[in-house]
Amino acid sequence: MLALITGFAGLRRNAAAAAFACAALVAAGQVAGAATELKLNAQQTAAVGQISNFINGFKTLQGEFTQTGPKGTVSRGIFYLQKPGKMRFEYASPNPFVIVSDGNWVTIKNRSKDKADQYPLSQTPLRLVLSDRVNIAQEAKILSVEDTESSITVTLEDRKNMVPGQLILVYDKSSNALQQWVVVDGQGRRTTVALQNMVPGVDPDPELFKIAVTRATTQGKKSDR
């Protein structure tokens, strides 16, 4: 997953980072200096392809996540994905946030205040992980690839320059699955999301991808979807 959302204050920033299943919806500030894109050799191309294959290998996925914020704050929760376009990251109490994509809009809701921010899915990097097919090497700027006996670690940036910051994906070879990702925002703050107990192929309740909001702030333009 490419889930990567930063640029929110306090708990909001930590909650949003989880959904960035591969990048940030909104980022605070710019990264100092443009990073150089790596010219992939055959081994590196194959390594990055393994992560793309994992993402392309499921239509539905559910599991648990553990998130560690820049100041060491730990939050846990459950997630559901259904392609194309649908996602839910639900944080366990006392974290009040839930993040839902209904296929058109991504909503970040504070359940304790019934307030929310909404973003067009088509304008976020979530479009990659929630698309039917993805090719990370083509759709993201690859900065580094570390391929060891046990894991593949890929650092990337948003090729469309909509999201300042970087995303680090860690793929576990023994389980053939994405193990964790790290979001590095525009100020260098790191949020780590570890994935556990993932189960593909289970059809989630369609109601999970619906969310009622009394007060919502809409960001960006209307989705192209």
108-159 per-position pLDDT tens digit: 999 888 788 888 887 776 777 788 898 999 888 999 999 999 999 999 887 7
Q: Which class is domain 10-198?
A: mainly beta
Write down the pLDDT at residue 3: 34
Find the largest Cα–Cα distance for the chain. Answer: 51
Between 21 and 76, the more confident residue is 76
pLDDT category at 184 given cuts 50, 70, 90 is confident
| Sign of the four-CA dihedral 138, 140, 141, 142 | negative
Domain residue limits, the chain: 10-198
pLDDT category at 224 given cuts 50, 70, 90 is very low
- Picking from 6-10, 33-37, 151-155, 195-199, which range would have the lowest pLDDT averaged per residue? 6-10
55-83 per-position pLDDT tens digit: 999 999 999 999 998 889 899 999 999 99
The Cα angle at residue 224 between residues 221 and 225, in degrees rounded to 5? 130
Q: Which amino acid is at 168?
A: I
Task: Check whether 197 has a pLDDT greater than 80.
Answer: yes
Write down the pLDDT at residue 220: 58
CB-based contact 121:101 (threshold 8 Å): yes
Write down the pLDDT at residue 164: 64
Global pTM reads: 0.79
110-120 per-position pLDDT tens digit: 988 878 888 88
Task: Check whether 28 has a pLDDT greater than 50.
Answer: no
